[in-house]
């Protein structure tokens, strides 16, 4: 007999006793509460629906008992009537003194405790055993959904003084059952292997060591079934259906077998494609946006793409809530579809307010100046997307979300909420470090791409190593004018011992002053001009090479130069850090003003192309080509301005700066012509670090430096292949690479492991 039946039976007996003892109503002279241990009498009185002086009848007895049981504070209630005194005898439910959960790994403590608190199980609360039983069943279902069918859950209660208990929930999760096979029945058009190619449920590939594909999940299987439907619907099988799905588990609860029964149906083609409804954009223009054509196989995904393109085009003209409803008219005899896109552009909408949310460090204006959707203007889908993209590409922004909110009571006015997640885009450090190319390094540096939340870039660097002593300061205002013209200036002093960097043996002291301006041409194109004046003094010793000494004999060793650098850049990447799509290129021309002590020019071009292969994998290509030459009275491109290659960002697997021609001392001398290229596939590592902060890459690099263009030979190109890791930390970006060189010469200096701090990805 269950507890509920016992309670009902007890209540009926009590009612009979009360009825027998109290046939006549009476006036209550006093009310007495008995049996309380933790609960105050005043609390009980608040729940009793009668008071002293009331006339008490038989019906009141049932009401009193019912109200006290409803509080769930008591496990038993008895009423006694004697000499006009109403005695209420209660038995309290025990109170929870402590709650402990042990053995859970899949479900965090916080999640479990929150669930328990929501249903009233928490320290200080009254213990309801029936609720606890329901919780156990709910936990079992959650673990079953994770494929852990061997889970065991026990609830232990230890009685304490004053009617209290300690509650301990013991969970033995066991191991998750593994999917042994997924079998599709009823398919003849496509083989199982092709249909299951994108399934998240199934046997784990041997190379996906971190994958949990072989763990059963009801939600994951539902997503796989939807993927299966999409595959058929995107290839014309309109009547495709999943008739049934069976999930069976072996008696030992270790292996799971999944059977999916499908009905493929017939394939349909498009007989006609039409537009209907009300719209102001020219019909021919909208038809040009369609991704479907007459005579093609029907594809649901292409229909969705077509609808989105039309909606976005109408959104660009202010029709924020335009509806595009594709209606297929199916002819079962000819197996064709007449497709009509019904368009309701609705009212033209304007934006009342644009709000920036979530910015804790940056000023509003830093984000508002990137907006291409203005307050008070017509709603523009393209303008909003451009705004989101520009904010996302700021170095100090990790993520951007844009929400369009209807203004209550209006169907032609909206508010735009832009939610940003910021990250630190700079660093402060003081201390020592170790570099694989520069040895022990003592540094003090402050850099900030968002100085005091203003969006301005400020950097100061002091660096002492066996190669360089650097004192550097720079300042850039990316919005010197409201039109996005940038202005910057800086100065630097660099003392270099080149021999320590594996290049020709000489020393140099260089001081420079710089000023720069940048002018936007379009949303993604920009030109910049940099002017600098620099003094350079070269010091030699007995180990300096013949090439260095000859250049200094012909041109001197103390130089004053005025240089101008022009840069054109195009950047359509979706983000600067860990980008996943887009194209970046930079063309750079640097030349010295005639009458400078050294007259030369350098031109180079770089590109990075990011191509998303899937939501997980990104394919990237990169290249750099550079050429330099002297003019006027200068005999050659200065040796300290020559191109060099090798190391991170160049040809990995070779020591920094070591590729290319060597001097008479067998040190790297650099060259006038540089060419490097590389391909890479990036992917995150699930369950380790956030994808926005950590990723791996498989790469192949090739390149070299040549004395001149005429000396270029493909057989002299050096290459490498390997694995790279990119990580963003509070100290900046870190790149680690493991490379295996190929086509290397016995004189090349190779390195299998290289690292770099402060890298741009």
Binned at pLDDT 50, 70 and 90, residue 434 comes out as very low
For the cut 90, the answer to whether the pLDDT of residue 24 exceeds it is no
CATH number attached to the domain at 178-263: 3.10.20.310
Q: If we measure between CA atoms, which residue out of 36, 126, 37, 12 comes closest to residue 87?
A: 36
Q: What is the pLDDT of residue 688?
A: 55
- Average pLDDT of span 682-689: 71
Q: If we measure between CA atoms, which residue out of 586, 561, 564, 472 comes closest to residue 517?
A: 564
Q: Which two tokens stand for residue 694?
A: 């950590």
For the cut 90, the answer to whether the pLDDT of residue 665 exceeds it is no
| Residue with the larger pLDDT of the pair 128 and 232 | 232
Our measurement of the distance from residue 664's CA atom to the centroid of its chain's CA atoms, rounded to an integer in Å, reads: 51
* Residue located via tokens 């063309």: 587
Q: Is CATH 3.40.50.300 correct for 269-344? A: no
For the cut 60, the answer to whether the pLDDT of residue 207 exceeds it is no
CA distances from 694 to 349, 575, 588, 690 (A): 41, 15, 31, 6
Residue 605 pairs with which residues in a beta bridge? 587, 625
CATH number attached to the domain at 95-172: 3.10.20.310
Q: If we measure between CA atoms, which residue out of 125, 133, 135 comes closest to residue 94?
A: 125
Please, are residues 704 and 718 in contact by the beta-carbon 8 Å criterion? yes
Q: Which two tokens stand for residue 683?
A: 């992917």
For the cut 50, the answer to whether the pLDDT of residue 428 exceeds it is no
Q: If we measure between CA atoms, which residue out of 627, 650, 648, 651 comes closest to residue 637?
A: 627
Q: What is the CA radius of gyration of the chain?
A: 38
What's the pLDDT tens digit per position in 544-553?
888 888 999 9
Q: How far apart are CA 347 and CA 531, in angstroms?
A: 52
Please, are residues 701 and 651 in contact by the beta-carbon 8 Å criterion? yes
Q: Which fold has domain 350-422?
A: Ubiquitin-like (UB roll) (3.10.20)
Q: What is the pLDDT of residue 18?
A: 46
Q: What is the pLDDT of residue 126?
A: 80
For the cut 80, the answer to whether the pLDDT of residue 327 exceeds it is yes
Please, are residues 291 and 302 in contact by the beta-carbon 8 Å criterion? yes
Q: If we measure between CA atoms, which residue out of 354, 339, 370, 360 comes closest to residue 271?
A: 339
Q: Which two tokens stand for residue 176?
A: 């998750």
- Average pLDDT of span 336-351: 92
| Residue with the larger pLDDT of the pair 12 and 734 | 734
Please, are residues 260 and 185 in contact by the beta-carbon 8 Å criterion? yes
For the cut 80, the answer to whether the pLDDT of residue 135 exceeds it is no
For the cut 80, the answer to whether the pLDDT of residue 57 exceeds it is yes
Max mean pLDDT range (259-273, 677-691, 721-735): 259-273
The mean pLDDT value of the chain amounts to: 84
**E strand segments, 540-672:** 558-571, 582-592, 600-612, 618-630
Q: If we measure between CA atoms, which residue out of 56, 63, 60, 64 comes closest to residue 84?
A: 56
**E strand segments, 35-113:** 55-56, 74-82, 85-92, 95-102
Please, are residues 242 and 224 in contact by the beta-carbon 8 Å criterion? no
For the cut 70, the answer to whether the pLDDT of residue 310 exceeds it is yes
Our measurement of the distance from residue 437's CA atom to the centroid of its chain's CA atoms, rounded to an integer in Å, reads: 33
Q: Which fold has domain 436-757?
A: Porin (2.40.160)
Please, are residues 362 and 453 in contact by the beta-carbon 8 Å criterion? yes
* Half-sphere exposure (Cβ direction) of 435: Cα atoms closer than 13 Å: 24
What's the pLDDT tens digit per position in 483-542?
889 999 999 998 877 665 556 677 888 999 999 999 999 888 999 999 999 999 988 887
Q: Which residues of 716-746 are buried (b: 16+ CB within 10 A; e: fewer)?
A: ebbbbbbebebbbeeebbbbebebebeebee
Residue 571, SS3 per DSSP:
strand
**E strand segments, 593-693:** 600-612, 618-630, 673-683
For the cut 70, the answer to whether the pLDDT of residue 211 exceeds it is no
Its pTM stands at 0.64
Among 3.30.70.1230, 3.40.50.1860, 2.20.25.90, 3.10.20.310, name the CATH number for the domain at 3-92: 3.10.20.310
Please, are residues 317 and 280 in contact by the beta-carbon 8 Å criterion? yes
- Average pLDDT of span 722-750: 83
Three-point CA angle 740, 742, 743, nearest 5°: 160
For the cut 50, the answer to whether the pLDDT of residue 264 exceeds it is yes
Please, are residues 621 and 678 in contact by the beta-carbon 8 Å criterion? yes
154 φ/ψ angles, rounded to the nearest 5 degrees? -125, 140
Start-end of H helices in 48-89: 58-70
Q: Which residues of 544-562 are buried (b: 16+ CB within 10 A; e: fewer)?
A: bbebbeebbeebebebebe
Q: Which two tokens stand for residue 644?
A: 């060099």
Q: Which two tokens stand for residue 84?
A: 């006009």
- Average pLDDT of span 163-167: 85
Q: What is the pLDDT of residue 91?
A: 87
Domain boundaries of the chain, sorted by first residue: 3-92, 95-172, 178-263, 269-344, 350-422, 436-757
Q: Which two tokens stand for residue 574?
A: 């979706």
What's the pLDDT tens digit per position in 238-249?
999 999 999 888
- Secondary element (H or E) of residue 249: strand 241-249
What's the pLDDT tens digit per position in 496-510?
776 655 566 778 889
For the cut 60, the answer to whether the pLDDT of residue 1 exceeds it is no
For the cut 50, the answer to whether the pLDDT of residue 351 exceeds it is yes
* Half-sphere exposure (Cβ direction) of 441: Cα atoms closer than 13 Å: 22
What's the pLDDT tens digit per position in 569-595?
999 998 877 888 999 999 999 999 998
Q: How far apart are CA 570 and CA 317, in angstroms?
A: 27
Q: How far apart are CA 234 and CA 300, in angstroms?
A: 5
Please, are residues 144 and 153 in contact by the beta-carbon 8 Å criterion? no
* Residue located via tokens 């026990």: 154
- Average pLDDT of span 283-305: 92
- Average pLDDT of span 60-69: 87
- Say yes or no: do domains 95-172 and 178-263 share a fold: yes
Three-point CA angle 644, 650, 651, nearest 5°: 100
Q: What is the pLDDT of residue 7?
A: 54
For the cut 90, the answer to whether the pLDDT of residue 43 exceeds it is no
Residue 483, SS3 per DSSP:
coil
Q: How far apart are CA 202 and CA 215, in angstroms?
A: 8
Q: What is the pLDDT of residue 140?
A: 82
Q: Which two tokens stand for residue 254?
A: 């270790």
Q: Which two tokens stand for residue 473?
A: 């300061």
Three-point CA angle 583, 585, 587, nearest 5°: 170
For the cut 60, the answer to whether the pLDDT of residue 441 exceeds it is no
């Amino acid at each position: 007999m269950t507890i509920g039946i016992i309670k009902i039976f007890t209540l009926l007996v009590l009612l009979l006793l009360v009825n027998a003892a109290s046939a006549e109503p009476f006036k209550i002279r006093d009310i007495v509460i008995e049996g309380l241990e933790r609960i105050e009498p005043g609390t009980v009185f608040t729940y009793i629906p009668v008071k002293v002086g009331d006339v008490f009848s038989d019906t009141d007895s049932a009401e009193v008992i019912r109200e006290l049981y409803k509080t769930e504070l008591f496990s038993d209630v008895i009423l006694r009537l004697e000499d006009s005194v109403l005695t209420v005898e209660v038995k309290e439910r025990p109170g929870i003194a402590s709650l402990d959960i042990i053995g859970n790994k899949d479900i965090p403590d916080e999640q479990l405790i929150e669930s328990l608190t929501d249903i009233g199980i928490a320290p200080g609360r009254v213990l309801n055993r029936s609720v606890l039983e329901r919780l156990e069943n709910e936990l079992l279902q959650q673990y079953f959904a994770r494929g852990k069918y061997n889970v065991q859950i026990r609830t232990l209660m230890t009685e304490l003084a004053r009617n209290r208990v300690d509650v301990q929930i013991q969970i033995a999760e066991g191991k998750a059952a593994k999917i042994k096979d997924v079998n599709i029945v009823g398919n003849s058009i496509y083989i199982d292997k092709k249909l299951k190619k994108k399934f998240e449920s199934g046997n784990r590939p041997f190379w996906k060591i971190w994958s949990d594909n072989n763990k059963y999940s009801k939600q994951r299987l539902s997503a796989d079934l939807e993927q299966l439907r999409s595959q058929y619907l995107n290839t014309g099988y309109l009547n495709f259906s999943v008739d049934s799905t069976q999930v069976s588990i072996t008696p030992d609860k270790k292996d799971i077998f999944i059977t999916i029964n499908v009905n493929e149906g017939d394939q349909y083609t498009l007989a006609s494609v039409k537009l209907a409804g009300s719209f102001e954009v020219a019909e021919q223009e909208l038809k040009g946006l369609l991704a479907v054509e007459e005579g093609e196989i029907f594809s649901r995904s292409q229909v969705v793409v077509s609808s989105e393109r039309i909606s976005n085009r109408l959104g660009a003209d202010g029709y924020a809530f335009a509806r595009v409803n594709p209606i297929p008219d199916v002819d079962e005899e000819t197996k064709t579809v007449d497709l009509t896109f019904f368009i309701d552009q609705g009212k033209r909408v304007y934006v009342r307010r644009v709000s920036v949310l979530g910015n804790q460090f940056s000023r509003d204006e830093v984000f508002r100046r990137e907006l291409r959707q203005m307050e008070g203007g017509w709603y523009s889908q393209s303008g909003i997307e451009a705004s989101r993209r520009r904010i996302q590409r700021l170095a100090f922004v990790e993520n951007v979300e844009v929400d369009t909110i209807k203004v209550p009571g209006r169907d032609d006015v909206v508010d735009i909420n832009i939610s940003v997640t910021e990250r630190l885009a700079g660093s402060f450090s003081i201390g020592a470090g170790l570099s694989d190319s520069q040895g022990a390094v003592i540094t003090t540096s402050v850099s900030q791409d968002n100085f005091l939340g203003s969006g301005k870039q400020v950097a100061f660097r002091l660096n002492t190593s066996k190669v360089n002593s650097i004192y550097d300061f720079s300042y850039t205002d990316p919005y010197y004018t409201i039109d996005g013209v940038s202005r910057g200036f800086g100065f630097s002093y660099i003392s270099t011992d080149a021999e320590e960097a594996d290049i020709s043996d000489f020393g140099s002291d260089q001081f420079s002053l710089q000023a720069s301006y940048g002018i936007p041409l379009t949303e993604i194109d920009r030109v910049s001009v940099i002017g600098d004046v620099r003094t350079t003094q070269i010091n030699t010793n007995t180990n300096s090479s013949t090439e260095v000494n000859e250049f200094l004999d012909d041109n001197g060793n103390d130089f004053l130069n005025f240089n101008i650098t022009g840069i054109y850049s195009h950047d359509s990447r979706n983000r600067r850090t860990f980008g996943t799509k887009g194209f970046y290129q930079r063309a750079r021309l640097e030349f010295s003003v005639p009458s400078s002590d050294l007259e030369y020019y350098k031109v180079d071009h770089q590109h990075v192309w990011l191509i998303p292969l899937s939501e997980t994998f990104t394919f990237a290509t990169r290249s750099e080509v550079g050429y330099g030459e002297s003019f006027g009275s200068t005999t050659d491109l200065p040796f300290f301005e020559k191109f060099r290659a090798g190391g991170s960002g160049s040809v990995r697997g070779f020591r920094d700066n070591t590729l290319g021609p060597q001097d008479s001392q067998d040190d790297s001398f650099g060259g006038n012509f540089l060419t490097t290229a590389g391909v890479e596939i990036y992917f995150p590592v699930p369950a380790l670090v956030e994808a926005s902060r950590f990723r791996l890459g498989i790469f192949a690099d090739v390149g070299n430096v040549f004395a001149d263009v005429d000396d270029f030979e493909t057989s002299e190109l050096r290459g490498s292949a390997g694995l790279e890791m990119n990580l963003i930390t509070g100290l900046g970006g870190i790149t680690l690479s493991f490379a295996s060189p190929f086509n290397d010469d016995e004189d090349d200096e190779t390195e299998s492991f290289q690292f770099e701090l402060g890298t741009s990805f």
